Each structure stands twice: as structure tokens, then as C-alpha cells.
Amino acid sequence: MIVSKVSTRFVYFFDEGDASMRDLLGGKGAGLAEMTRAGFPVPPGFTITTEACLCFYAGDSVFPPGLQEEVAAAMDRLEAETGKTFGANSNPLLVSVRSGARVSMPGMMDTILNLGLNDETVKSLADLTGNERFAWDAYRRFIMMFAHVVLGVPKEKFEDRIKDCKRRLGTQSDAQIDAESWKELTREFKAIARNHSARAFPQDVREQLDLAIRAVFDSWNSKRAIDYRRFNKLPDDWGTAVSIVEMVFGNMGDDSGTGVAFTRDPNTGERALFGEYLRNAQGEDVVAGIRTPEKISDLQQSQPQVYAQFAQIASKLEHHYRDVQDLEFTVERGKLYMLQTRSAKRSAEAAVRIALDLVTEGIIDKKEALGRVSAASLDQLFHARINPREQFETACKGLNASPGAASGQIVFDADAAVEWKEQGKQTILVRVETTPDDVHGMIAARGILTAKGGATSHAAVVARGMGKPCVAGCEALQIDRRAKTLGIGDRTLHEGDWITIDGGTGKVIAKKLQLIDPPSELPSWLSKFLGWADEVRSLEVWANADTPQDARKARELGAAGIGLCRTEHMFMQRERLPIVQEMILADTPRARADALAQLLPFQREDFQGILEAMQGLPVTIRLLDPPLHEFLPSLETLLVEVTELRLQKGVESIAFKERNAVLRRVQQLHEQNPMLGLRVCRLGIVYPEIYAMQVRGIFEAACKLKAQGLDVRPLVMIPGVGTEEEMQQTFAAARAVADEVVTESGCALEYEIGTMIELPRACLVAGRIAEHAQFFSFGTNDLTQTTYGYSRDDAEASFIPHYLEKRILKDDPFQVLDRAGVGALMRTAVDLGRSAHPGLKIGICGEHGGEPSSVAFCHALALNYVSCSPYRVPIARLAAAQAALGLIT
Amino acid sequence: MIVSKVSTRFVYFFDEGDASMRDLLGGKGAGLAEMTRAGFPVPPGFTITTEACLCFYAGDSVFPPGLQEEVAAAMDRLEAETGKTFGANSNPLLVSVRSGARVSMPGMMDTILNLGLNDETVKSLADLTGNERFAWDAYRRFIMMFAHVVLGVPKEKFEDRIKDCKRRLGTQSDAQIDAESWKELTREFKAIARNHSARAFPQDVREQLDLAIRAVFDSWNSKRAIDYRRFNKLPDDWGTAVSIVEMVFGNMGDDSGTGVAFTRDPNTGERALFGEYLRNAQGEDVVAGIRTPEKISDLQQSQPQVYAQFAQIASKLEHHYRDVQDLEFTVERGKLYMLQTRSAKRSAEAAVRIALDLVTEGIIDKKEALGRVSAASLDQLFHARINPREQFETACKGLNASPGAASGQIVFDADAAVEWKEQGKQTILVRVETTPDDVHGMIAARGILTAKGGATSHAAVVARGMGKPCVAGCEALQIDRRAKTLGIGDRTLHEGDWITIDGGTGKVIAKKLQLIDPPSELPSWLSKFLGWADEVRSLEVWANADTPQDARKARELGAAGIGLCRTEHMFMQRERLPIVQEMILADTPRARADALAQLLPFQREDFQGILEAMQGLPVTIRLLDPPLHEFLPSLETLLVEVTELRLQKGVESIAFKERNAVLRRVQQLHEQNPMLGLRVCRLGIVYPEIYAMQVRGIFEAACKLKAQGLDVRPLVMIPGVGTEEEMQQTFAAARAVADEVVTESGCALEYEIGTMIELPRACLVAGRIAEHAQFFSFGTNDLTQTTYGYSRDDAEASFIPHYLEKRILKDDPFQVLDRAGVGALMRTAVDLGRSAHPGLKIGICGEHGGEPSSVAFCHALALNYVSCSPYRVPIARLAAAQAALGLIT
């Protein structure tokens, strides 16, 4: 916990602060202060600083010296300003005690309303308002909230009593509960608080205040707040501020009400007030969803002056803050009070469109606009999403653990997911939580839904790694695995029932919904916005694509080249695999050569398609990379099969002999750790004829197109070089074949031969490698594997979730580039490589190439390009611009 | 090929050179020059420099300008000095043309004797010597050698004719062949030369000389010479010198002869002339073994003056060169000629004893003595060797590819080796060459013998990795795998016949021999010598030992601590494995805890034994390291077993269900790349109870011994740390348990907790790790695996031999520490670690800790200690001293 430069002052009245003091006063406190200073109608109040909160932690939950005195003095001033007295029997001062960190963490920390009520002041409130029901309703709300937040009493204890009461009264609505019943419930509530906690509900209002402040401080370290910060990568050492504000009441009749509104539509970006208003209600009622609120525009009919005033304030605030605002307000008997203003959270689409509009409106410039959109959020635009025309009810919400929407039939275990998939069914795997034992089911399912676990839970981490939708930690789920039922509230679903999850919002919907696939081309508004990004970025953005289709898609999305075309996927295709297997199982070089000769036309065709799709742009083709046994039947399957044949047909049967021969060969090729075995350029050195065939395929294709007048630019990439000699030998061998083909064809084709830098040793001897290479491309997936000693397949499904949970890892290093380790090696490689080979072109083609923080690091390393999967190209374009502008580092 | 500073002079007469010109004149040329200048009786001659040889290569096998003229001038001077004329019909000058590199490469390059003979000069020689038989014998020898070396005619072609001739004459001995027969054979030899080569045997003696010089130059790049250099790590760019020496003849009667001798016994080091003398013979006869030579001491009886002169020269040469000399000489009609002097090759034992004696004799000082013994050669002393009392005949010789002797029954394929081993038999696997498919057989056999392949062949590399004797490239073997026979010369051996190989000398013996195990304690002479090493070295030498026996052995051999005690071997023991499996298969933490509780007493006992054996010295105990599935039955075996049970007993049988459950669990734990999976400290973090049990075991043992008054010094080593947080958490957890036990016991025990640095990332963030660690120990086996991306198990048996062969790797990086890559990471770790934690103790416990060049590197890094297997401790002690003295770098 960092507690530096402790100010001697812990409390600021709203008119003493401003928007610049967000770190000290929290977002809410700074907003209220700024609005107060700007003359907007804000109830009076003051804010206890985040520094006070940090001192409180540092001092083992003891208030720092002076805090209590400052709070007392501020309360005195509040009494003076409001003309009310805290705890007084006549005209009592009531306050809300609200949390507020530097950035909004909605719903994660605690707030207490109506503080200052007790058995005496409630009566004064009844007298003053002439509304006994209102007063007792307010009091019981306060007790409930206080008992829950401060004393830790479960809410249900109270809610059950309210239900009982409504049953007695024969009603379904709280509104039907009369003053006497609330009074009675208040008594019961106090008894519950006493029985279910260590202490009774305090009547002393100063004690109430003291305990409430502590509770808000503590809520910074609640599990859900910590999980939230982990997911959103927020530091733990900010602390929360506490704002204490005079209560205003939206539930004092039909001329009162409470609302939340955005100055523009946060989903579409449309320039119009967007929000909800609930008449005769307190803020919490909106959240609780007890009644359906009106649209904010309806307020225009019912209270036109209030609406006009609010609309004007909203517009002024948007101009004041130069951004779309998310506002909370209350109308008390026709008088408008602003309770909060903050930058509005918005969808990726809205973020882009609003940024474009604000530039058009002259409010911000292009640079600022580029900083207004989180690059990572653009990912949302390229996942399946629920058709907005679908009407549906959200059954419950969990954590938005891995983006994208999925509909499927419920299954409760991993094996079932696999079986159902084999029957052609789509499933959603529903588990209390997942473990490494569930991974096969996660692969088979369309999406994953769990009841427990946060953003770093196994389900969340593994699903993100798979690019599969996941809603995690959805605590409302009651899963009975034996009975194969899923309870959500009163509803019970069974295995095979349809369900939809939206991993981008955390919503769970208990039916099948129509989903929309990502757009096939870039929307014009996004094109325009990314055009601005392109103007400022220095990093080129290329794409990883293995097929002409992917290459065309990448080009549409703005890729300026192919940074990685993997040739192994081409080997896996149905009609080729038998030939590839023949090549691998060959006993003699002659037989191997024959098989390779059969593969050559296929490869030539593959390369021709991609080179054609990318004409005018560079295409980097990586020679064969994976260990050969990836192309053979699985050893485990073969073992079972051969054992069966042995027992059923006998060792003399032809069937046994044939499969046994294959088994033998697969066993010979089997490696303990294939990731560290005979793969990458080692394959091309031990079996030079494989690389020779591939290089021939590339250049025959390129020369053919060149002869047709196309501008083709092939780059040959040697994978996994770790020594100067490997580079030298594979470079020479590839060049010999390339030159031969080019000379044969008689066309003047330019090309380059370079290497993936994906081993620690390659980074450490990069200077020597650079002497024989025309470009470098960092393969950060593999580099991360060896730098950490983590096999991606094994680690992401087993200990990485545990490591994230325990904070041993801040991020999954396969998602976010590790700067201290992998990054240090990259820096070494860049320095050595460029020293030995000035102007050496260097890129990155690991998956990090499409992750904003990693892109920023690549910018800092002065790489020439990043290459990522086609749908991440827009993210990389924006991130590269933000990095160039210093908006991200 | 480096050709720098080309001197304008290519030829030096013997009296123009000296011992310091070894690089230019080769060992032989420099020795002859030095002896000439010192007045020893050397036939006159001159040397063509190594630079001439390099120019010859650089110029595509064209003599550099001036060389031929210089040679001609030198021949003129030689004629003048000897009074003979080259190619003349009367008193013809005959010369030998001898190769000679900087260091001796015995038998690897070519030599031609009797050059200058042709159809005419042979007659003069007959006249001059009055010995026609001698003359024609000399001529036919020359034609044979010339045709073989220069014209590439196989020797057998000639030998067959000699055999035919002897058959005709009804004799078995060359000595019975008369002048006429030699004359006839000479005619036949010339015909053979003409028929089997591109050109005829030249009669022009200047052409003979010219071609002979070229052939000697070329022999530097013969396959066997290249293989030899590869094995002995000699550079290719030295080239060979060529010495041209007047012929003297040891075959001119009983007062003539030829001999080789060492000034001391090269096997034992004993101070006495040691060698052989063959009367009436030329040098090649000694090598060919046609007659059995006498002991050199026998010369004392037959020619006492010659012997006395020789003994005096030998003694003078030893003093002159300050080292034991290997001498070649010829006696021509009672006159002694020295033909060569060079430092004698010697056994490790002799090297040490001679070094000790030379110091005693005041010839060299201790420092020089320490430089006289190759540290690596001490390895010989600790392998099984053939009992010197055994009488045996060497059937043939191959390459000494992996040291140690082994006797066993011949098998011809890997599967047989496995089967026979299962029957309790010892085998030697005999193969033309091995491939990765033979590895299981290599594991099962006692030793490996191959007909093909050099020091970097698969067999050689894999056997060295296994520490198993291997003789490779033994070209005399005729292997018929189908017939299961092994031919060596005229003899035929069959499968099951006994054979002995000595991988230290390359000898193959066609019978079972008694072997001697390595000495159980350090011989006193070695002790004394290593004592000198200890006086000068700064690196401490520790040992890797897992058992009290190994620990005691290490201590005897001079280890000052245990640098690595692996705890996993303890888990593998028969009575414990079931408990370990129970622990792994546990469904609940409770069940796991129960199994661990059962393991605790075993572990405590293990640690007690080692701590007791090493009292007074540090013992570094590494917590559990390997992936858990290493302790479970093999997945492959289980798959077969479960399939059999399913088909034979049915899926409802208990047997099937039980094994199937185990299979499931093994499949769950199965990892794609276990080396990069859930292992090292990741195990201890995911299952903290395992490490807690081990730490408890260590400290309960230590405290018990401490209470008995023993000085025990436990160090706890956390494996595979890659992040600061791993170190911090495992350090804290281990310390908590340790302190608890120490406090419980009430004894004041000091201990340390540190980590293995064995991942690239650990090196890169070593500064942060060092803040939480009390020591570092480099685990260079694993560090090499991840830095290169090579799985040791997979790579050493598959592509590393290929890489060594193709010179992509200079050394196997698992044998010799890679300085450019792994070493760079180590340097980073040392710098960062010591900056953050001044005085941090750093060692190495990978197998490199016992390899001299790697030890020198550790010295340069200023590590505190190296730790290696017990038998390598002497090597490390000497290497550390040599490094401290700057004798190796």
C-alpha cells in the first residue's frame, strides 16, 4: 500500500474541490465539486479523500489522526448550510454516504442512504414531510442498508419479512405497504440486525456516520471489488474516497423522482438524451427494478420545466467536460438536484461514433478523439452478437468473462458437450466452475457459463484463450449436476434446454436467440475513424492469414501485408493429409521425394491464391513449423486400435500388421516434448527436401503471377532459428531454390528471406543471425513459452488461472506481452539485430500483435510492423496510433 | 579458411627453424628443426610451411607462386649437403615426405617414404647397398604407398598380390620373398597403379615429389582427419606442414633398425625409457605389426653404444623440452638418426604422476604442473577399465567415442538388447550405425559398437549423453544383420558371443575380459595433485548427490558441499511410490494430506542421512521438481491394459473399472509438453502441502541432528522460479514451516532458502528474484533446454548428432555450456542478482559444473561454486585451478 505525500487535510467541501482532484476526491467527489463550483444544483456535502482511506488501511483500520475532527467540523458546516441538525429531533439532517474511486466501479463498493435516521429523527421526518409512510419507509431502508453493509446481515433476511408482510396484506407491491406496516417492519428489522450481527443497530447518528465511513473504506477491499479491479486491470492501491451529501428525496410524491441519463445514446452514440426516470422513487429503486421506469423523454410531458432545466444542464456538462456524461439526478418536490456526473461508459460503436461527432462539433480534435476509444473494445465489433431486434428478458447477469454471444443447449458436463457435439448439436457448458478436467468439453461447447469464479477463474482464462464466449461467476445460478437442472430465480431449466449467453455484457437469456455474425466489411464510420489513426501511426499493421479468403478479409480490414502465412494448415487439408503421411512414413529419400513431388502442385496453388489476393503488398510465408507427428494419427488412438486388432484379429492378420507398422513409426516419431523437439527450421535442416519443395512452390507461384503482370512480393520466413549457422544454411538453401526458379522463369522477381525470432537464444545472438537475414519477425507465442518455460497448451488450462488468481502473474503472458522478460529479450534482439544490420526490418507476428498494450510496446521498440489475426487489425491500427500519440505506453 | 600475414617464405631448412615455430612448421617440422639446431643427429631436410598449405587451399589446390622454386632450391641444398643427387642413376637422393600439423594427429594424415626411386634409381640403390632385395623391397613399398596416397588405389590390391606371391613361394613371411619376386611384384604394382587410377606411376622423381606434397596437403582435409579434428575440437584452418627428409634405412641389416620410445612410461608415468625397437625394418613395419618388436631395453644388449647414445639424447630432449617426449628414430648400419620428437600423449594417471615427478625433479613448477593434465582426462580414472593383468589381443580399433570399458554378448538390434536385458544378460549393441530408432536398445546395452560414423555420429553423441561406453566408426567390422554375424578380419563372431570394448582407447577385443570398477577412493598421487589445485582455485567445488552413499563419495572426492540433492528420486523408491501415487490421485485435500503424512517420515529419514554424511558442510535440497505424472504408470501402458481388460473382461468388470479410473486420472494429468508444464515451483504453489511436507521433513531431520550436537547446514532450493512473485510466495511459505519446526525444537539452526535459476525469464528478472532469495544456483540443463528450445530427451537422440555433423553446433550444448546464449543469460542473472543483493552466493548445479570449459566460464563469471556429479568433482577441482591460473579460459 503506497501512502506517499500524505496531505494534512482529509476533508474537502464540494466548493473547495474541482474536476482536477479526481485522484484525491474520487470520480464522484470531483464531479460533485466541479458541478458545485460551476453553479449547478448539487445538494451540499463534502468528500473524505482517498488518502484518508489509504491511511486507514496502513493503520490497520484505524482512522488517521485528525480525520474524525475534520469530519465533525464538516458536519457542522453542513448543518449551518442546510439549516438542519444532524440527529436533531426537529429538522434533522440526513445524509448519504457514498463511495467513489478514481474511476467508476459501478456497484462494486457500498453506499448508504438516509443516514441520520433513528427512532427519534424518523418522527421529525414524518412531521416535517407530513408523510409518516414516507418517513418509516426511509427509516426501514436505512436500517436494511446499514445492517447489510455495516453489520454484514444478509439482505434476504429483510426481504423475506417484506414478502411476509405483503402476503399478510394480500399485495404484491411495496407501494401497498402502509405506514403502520413499515413501522412494524422497522421494529422487526432492528431485531434482525441485533440477532444476526455482533452489534445492534446504533441509534447514535455520529456512530452511524463513523461506522458507515469505515464500511465504505472496507468495501474497497471486498472480494467483488478486488475481482473487478483484477478484470479491469486497476491497481489495488488507489483506495476510495467517501462523499457525504445532504439527502434529497425523490420519493416525496409525484412531483418527485429520480433518474439516470446519458447525454448521448451509449449504445449507438446517437446525439439525444438517453435514460430513465422513476417517479416518486429513491435511486435504489431504479437499480432494484421494482417498477419499470419511464424513458427520460417522458419527463418532458410530466414536468416540462424540470426536463428543460435538466436538458440544459446535461448539455452544459457535456461541453464542460467535453465528453458524453452519465448523470444521476433527483427531483424533490419539483426541484432538480444533480447527484453525479461522470464520463459515460459506452459501447465500442458508440465510442467511435461519439468521438467522430465531437470532432465534427468542434468540441475535441482528432488526437483527442483517437484517445476516446479503447482499442481493445473494438474487438466487440468482430464477435457474434445478439440481434438487437430480438426481444428478450435477461434471466441473470454474470461477469463478462470472454466476449461474443452464443446460443446452445444446456449440458452439465464436459463429456456430454463432446458427445452432443458429435451428434451435431450446439451446447453451452454450464458448470459451477471449470477445472482442467473440463477443457475437452469447453472445446466442444459453443460457450461456457459458470456460477462461481471471477475474471481470472479457470473458465474465464481458458475461454478467452480459446476465443470462446464465457459468462463467469453468475451467482444467481443454482446448478444441480445430478438432477441435470439449472435454477435461475424461480425458473428451472433442464439439460437440452436452449440458453443464450453474451460474454461481452455478462447477460444470460433463457432461450435461443438469433445472433448476428460480425460484419463482413468495415462500417464506414469505423473506416473513417481508423483513417485518422492511420495518419498518425508509425507502426505498420499486417495480418496473419493462411488462406486467400483470410488474406482478402485482412486487406479489407486495413492490413498492409501478410506477416505470417502458416503452411502447416495447408498440409492438414483432407486430400493432402494422406500424401503428407506418406512423405513422413517414407523409408527412403526416394519415397519421400515422390510424396513431396505430389504435394508441390497443391502448395503452388495455395501460394498463388494468397499472393494474388495480396498483390502489391508483402506476403510472409513461413516454412513448415510443427513436429511431423502432428500430421499422423494420434498415438493414443493407435495404441487402442492396435490392441483391439491384436485381440480380435490376431497378430498374423494383415489389418494388425498394417496398423502396427504405422504405430511403430508414430512411436519412433513420438517426442517427450514436441514443442522442444524436431520442429521449426530443424525439420528443414534434417529433411532439406521439405523446405526445398515449399520454396519451389512459393516461387513457381510468384513467377507465374509476375509473368501475368501482377506485383507480387513474397517473403520467405524460416521458423525457430536459434543459431547463426541455422540461419546461414537455411538462408543459402532457400535462396538457391528461389534463384533457380526465378532464373528458369526469366522474370525479375524481388524477394526476401528472413526469420522468426522465437527462441531466447535467437534474441541473444540476434546480431549474428541478422547478418544472414533480410528481416526479423518476433514469434512471441513461442518466445513466451520458452522464456517462461510454460507450454501454452498445458499452462493456460492448468496453472495460469491459479497464478492469476494468486497474483503471481498480473496478466496471462500469452495474452499481454511480458515486458520484463520476453520484452527484455526482444529489446536485446532489436538492438543487436539493427547494430549488425542497419535498417533491418523487424515485426511481430505472435498473437500479441493485436493486443493494445503489446502494440504500444512494439511501438516503443521501434518495430516496423505488427501482424495479427484479421479481425484484430482494426485494434492494432488504433493502438498503434494511440501509442504514437503517447496516449498509451 | 584464414590466410593472414602470408610470409613470403614457404620453405625452411631444419637449421633455420626452432621449437617456437610450431604453428608455421608443424609439430614434426619444429621438432626436427629444434633437434638439428641443438646438435642431435637428424638426417638433413626442410619443411614446407602450413601457410603454403593454406595458400594451396585458398587457391583451389594450386601451389602458391614461388613455392615450387623454393622447393627446388631446397632440394638443391639437400643434394649438396648429402652429396647425393635426386633422380640420379648413381648415388640417388631418396627422401621421405611427411605431414605434420601444429599438434599431433597420429595416423590421420599421409606420409610417403623412399621417394626418389624409379626404374633406374632402384638399380643404383641395389648397387650402392650391394643388396638387390633391399632395393626392390624399398621400391615396391614406395609404389604401394604412392599409389595408395597419391593415386587413391586401395592397398588391398597390392596386398593380395603379395599374398599370392607368398602362396606361390610356399611361405608366410615377407622376409622369405627374394629379390626376383619383389622385382616381379614391382612390375605388377605399376600395372595395378595404371589400371586402377587416372594416371600411371610417374618415373620422374620431381613429379613424384610434386604429387606427394599435394597429396599431403590434401590429406589435411581427408574425412578421417576432419572427423579427428571434430572429435578433438581442433580447428580446420591450421593446415599441415610438409617435411622432406633424407631417407635413412633401418632395414639394411641386423645393425640397422627402427624404433619408437617414450622418455617415461605413458601408461603409468614411471621414469624409465619405454618403447619398442624392430631390427632390420622400416618404420612402417612397426605400425603394420608384421613382426613383434623387442622392448627398447633389449637394444642395450644388442647395440650398447647405440642404446647409450639414444638414452642420453632422450634424457637431454626431455630436459630440453621440459616434458616427456615421444621419439622416433632409425639406426642405419649402427648410426643413430632421430626422426621425431614430440610431447608424449599419456594416460590420465601418467599425466598426473609425471607432473608430480617433474616438480619433484625441479624441472617445472606447480603452476606448470597443473597445466600439464587435461582436466577432462581425469574422467578416465572413474570409469570401468580393463584389468591390466588381462592378456588380450586387440581385434580391431575404432574411434574412442565414449569412455569406459564394457564386456557383453553381441546383439545386432535394439529390440534384442532389450529382450536379452530382461533375461538378465549383458549385451553390446553392434550396429553399422545407430539411429533414433535404436535408442531403447542403447539404453538396454552395456556398450555400443558401430562400424560407421565419427565422433559426432548418433551413436557417439547419444552414448556420451548416457555415460555409456562406445566405440564408433570401427571400419574393420563386417556386420551381417540378417545372418547375425560380425566379421573382424578372418574371424567371425555370432550373436551371443562375448566381446569387450574400451571406449577410452577405441579397442575392440573378441572375448570377455575382467573389468575393474573405478577406485572407491582417491589415489594418494591424485590427492596430492588436486591439493595443489585447491591451493590456487577460487571456485568452490560441490557435488550433486541424492543419497548418503553418494554424499559420502562426493566428500571423499573433495566436494565442499552438496549443491543439488534431488528429492524426486526419493519419491520413486519402491515402498514409497504407492503412497506418492495415492497422494497424486487424491480427490480431496484431506486424502492428499493423509498420503503426505505417510511420506513425511521417509523424507525425514532421507534428509537425516544426507545431512549427517555432510555434517559441517552445506547441503542444498531441492524441493519436488518433475511433473506429477512421472510418478504414475505410463499412459501408453495403461491404454493397452485397459483396452485388453475391456475386451477380455468387459466394461462391467471391477478390474476394468479400477484401471480405467487410473487411466482417466493419468489422462487428466497428461501434458503435451511436461517439461514446460505443471512442475518445478508451480507444483509447490498449486499444491502447497507437498512443499510444506518436504520442508518439514528437512527441518525435523536437521533439528534432530543439531540436538545431537552435529553441525548441519541445510539450504532449501526452490526449483524453476520465473517471477518475483513465485520466489516471494514460496520463500515465505518455506520459511514459515522451517521457523515453526525450528521453534518447536528449540535449537538454534541456521539455514538458507534460495532458488534454481533455470529459466530465461529468471535470468532477466534476477534482480527482483534476488530480493527474496538467499542464494542462486544455475540449473543449466533446463536453462539450455529453454534457451535453445531443445528438449534434451528428444534432441540428443534425434537432431543434435545431425547438427554436430553439419557443424551447426560446435558442441552439444548439454555437454559444453553455450556461452553466447545460455552464458549471456547467466551473466545477466549474475549482474542483476548481485546488484540487487550484494554478496549473493551463486553456484551452478547443472551437469556443466563438471565440464572444464564450462567451469572456466563459471570462474570468469565469478560464481562461488560449481556442483557436479561426485566422480566429476576431481575434474572440476583441476579445471577451477586451471581457470584461476589462466591456463584455460
Whether B458 sits among the annotated catalytic residues: the reply is yes
**Each residue of A676-733: pLDDT tens digit?**
999 999 999 999 999 999 999 999 999 999 999 999 999 999 999 999 999 999 999 9
Strands of B95-100's sheet in order across: B11-13, B45-48, B241-246, B95-100, B111-115
Interface predicted TM-score (ipTM)? 0.85
Whether residue A734 contacts residue A718, with contact meaning beta carbons closer than 8 Å, is answered with yes
* Chain B residues inside the 8 Å CB shell of A821: 722, 760-761, 764-765
Instruction: Please name the amino acid found at residue B775.
Output: F
d(CA A147, CA A158) in angstroms, rounded, equals: 10
Whether residue B619 contacts residue B611, with contact meaning beta carbons closer than 8 Å, is answered with yes
Closest-CA residue to B314 (of B324, B304, B305): B324
What is the least distance, in Å, from the CA of A217 to any CA of chain B?
27
Active-site hit among A470, A681, A845, A858: A845
Residue ranges of alpha helices (H) inside B265-392 are: 283-288, 299-302, 304-321, 348-360, 366-371
Q: DSSP class of residue A85?
A: B
**What percent of chain A lies above the pLDDT cut of 70?**
98
pLDDT at A3: 45
Active-site hit among B148, B383, B458, B837: B458
Whether residue B673 contacts residue A675, with contact meaning beta carbons closer than 8 Å, is answered with yes
**Each residue of B634-649: pLDDT tens digit?**
899 899 999 999 999 9
Residue B841's alpha-carbon distances to A289, B727, B771, B862, B866, in angstroms, are 64, 16, 13, 10, 11
**What is the helix (H) or strand (E) element at residue B96, kind and residue range?**
strand B95-100
d(CA A796, CA B320) in angstroms, rounded, equals: 69
Determine the average pLDDT of the residues in A812-839: 97
Beta bridge partners of B111: B98
- Coil, helix or strand at residue A292: coil
Whether B55 sits among the annotated catalytic residues: the reply is no
d(CA B566, CA B544) in angstroms, rounded, equals: 8
User: Who's near B28: CB < 8 A, 6+ residues apart?
Assistant: B47, B98, B99, B100, B241, B243, B340, B342
pLDDT at A287: 58
pLDDT at B291: 67
Could A794 and B761 be called an inter-chain contact, meaning their C-beta atoms sit closer than 8 Å? no
Q: Which three-class secondary structure string do you get for A196-263?
A: CCCCCCCCCHHHHHHHHHHHHHHHCCCHHHHHHHHHHCCCCCCCCEEEEEECCCCCCCCCCEEEEEEC
Whether residue B248 contacts residue B183, with contact meaning beta carbons closer than 8 Å, is answered with no
Question: DSSP states of B159-201 as a string?
Answer: HHHHHHHHHHHT-S-GGG--HHHHHHHHHHHHHHHHHTSSSPP
> Which residue of chain A is at minimal alpha-carbon distance from B641?
A643
Highest averaged pLDDT of the listed ranges A39-48, A392-401, A657-666, B797-806: A39-48
Could B786 and A790 be called an inter-chain contact, meaning their C-beta atoms sit closer than 8 Å? no
* Chain B residues inside the 8 Å CB shell of A760: 760, 786-787, 789, 821, 825
Whether residue A406 contacts residue A399, with contact meaning beta carbons closer than 8 Å, is answered with no
Closest-CA residue to B724 (of B772, B652, B672): B772
d(CA B527, CA B640) in angstroms, rounded, equals: 54
* Chain B residues inside the 8 Å CB shell of A720: 789
pLDDT at B10: 95
Closest-CA residue to A692 (of A735, A732, A731, A737): A737
**Each residue of A84-135: pLDDT tens digit?**
999 998 889 999 999 999 988 877 788 899 999 999 999 999 998 888 999 9
* Closest by Cβ to B808, choosing from A729, A761, A806: A729
Closest-CA residue to A90 (of A47, A54, A126): A126
Q: How many CB atoms lie within 10 A of CB A418?
A: 17
Mutate to test the interface with A, among B456, B685, B794, B799 (most CBs of A within 10 A): B794
Closest-CA residue to A305 (of A284, A335, A339, A348): A335
Residue B77's alpha-carbon distances to A726, A819, B16, in angstroms, are 52, 73, 13
Instruction: Please name the amino acid found at residue B362.
Output: G
Burial of B402 (0-12, 13-18, 19+ CB in 10 A): buried
Q: How many CB atoms lie within 10 A of CB A305?
A: 9
d(CA B582, CA B586) in angstroms, rounded, equals: 6
φ, ψ of residue B331 to 5 degrees: the values are -110, 120
* Chain A residues inside the 8 Å CB shell of B668: 436-437
How remote is the C-alpha of A389 from its chain's centroid?
25
Pairing state of beta strands B540-544 and B470-472?
A: unpaired
* Chain B residues inside the 8 Å CB shell of A637: none
Beta bridge partners of B386: B515
- Coil, helix or strand at residue B12: strand
What is the least distance, in Å, from the CA of B129 to any CA of chain A?
59
**Each residue of A616-625: pLDDT tens digit?**
999 999 999 9
Could A787 and B760 be called an inter-chain contact, meaning their C-beta atoms sit closer than 8 Å? yes
**What is the helix (H) or strand (E) element at residue A857, kind and residue range?**
helix A852-860
A1: confidence class by pLDDT, cuts 50, 70, 90: very low
The model carries a pTM of 0.86
Instruction: Please name the amino acid found at residue A737.
Output: V
Active-site hit among A148, A165, A396, A458: A458
Number of A–B residue contacts, CB under 8 Å: 203
d(CA A105, CA B565) in angstroms, rounded, equals: 50
Whether residue B504 contacts residue B404, with contact meaning beta carbons closer than 8 Å, is answered with yes
Task: Indicate the average pLDDT of chain A.
Answer: 91
d(CA B25, CA A482) in angstroms, rounded, equals: 89
Closest-CA residue to B31 (of B103, B82, B95, B96): B103
**What is the helix (H) or strand (E) element at residue B431, kind and residue range?**
strand B427-431
* Closest by Cβ to B808, choosing from A678, A726, A790: A726
Highest averaged pLDDT of the listed ranges A382-391, A515-524, A744-753: A744-753
Has residue A830 got a pLDDT over 60?
yes
Q: Which residues of chain B register pLDDT less than 70? A: 1-7, 231, 286-291, 436, 455-456, 465
Beta bridge partners of A680: none
Mutate to test the interface with B, among A587, A649, A761, A817 (most CBs of B within 10 A): A761
Pairing state of beta strands B470-472 and B399-402?
A: antiparallel
Closest-CA residue to A619 (of A539, A699, A696): A699
* Chain A residues inside the 8 Å CB shell of B805: none
Burial of B633 (0-12, 13-18, 19+ CB in 10 A): middle
Has residue A425 got a pLDDT over 50?
yes
**What is the helix (H) or strand (E) element at residue A613, kind and residue range?**
helix A589-613
User: Who's near B448: CB < 8 A, 6+ residues apart?
Assistant: B402, B428, B429, B431, B434, B442, B459, B463, B468, B469, B470, B471, B472
Provide the Cα torsion B159, B163, B165, B168; round to 10°: -170
Beta bridge partners of A48: A11, A242
Determine the average pLDDT of the residues in A205-218: 95
> Which residue of chain B is at minimal alpha-carbon distance from A639?
B640
Q: What is the total residue count of chain A?
A: 889
Whether residue B792 contacts residue B781, with contact meaning beta carbons closer than 8 Å, is answered with yes
**What is the helix (H) or strand (E) element at residue B274, kind and residue range?**
strand B274-279
- Coil, helix or strand at residue A100: strand
A463: confidence class by pLDDT, cuts 50, 70, 90: confident
pLDDT at B7: 52
Could A673 and B678 be called an inter-chain contact, meaning their C-beta atoms sit closer than 8 Å? no
* A656 vs A227 pLDDT, higher one: A656
What is the least distance, in Å, from the CA of A785 to any CA of chain B?
8
Has residue A2 got a pLDDT over 50?
no
Could A794 and B726 be called an inter-chain contact, meaning their C-beta atoms sit closer than 8 Å? no
What is the least distance, in Å, from the CA of A437 to any CA of chain B?
6
Longest pairwise C-alpha distance within chain A: 103
Residue B174's alpha-carbon distances to B182, B290, B299, B333, in angstroms, are 10, 9, 23, 21
Could A791 and B673 be called an inter-chain contact, meaning their C-beta atoms sit closer than 8 Å? yes
Could B644 and A639 be called an inter-chain contact, meaning their C-beta atoms sit closer than 8 Å? no
A5: confidence class by pLDDT, cuts 50, 70, 90: very low
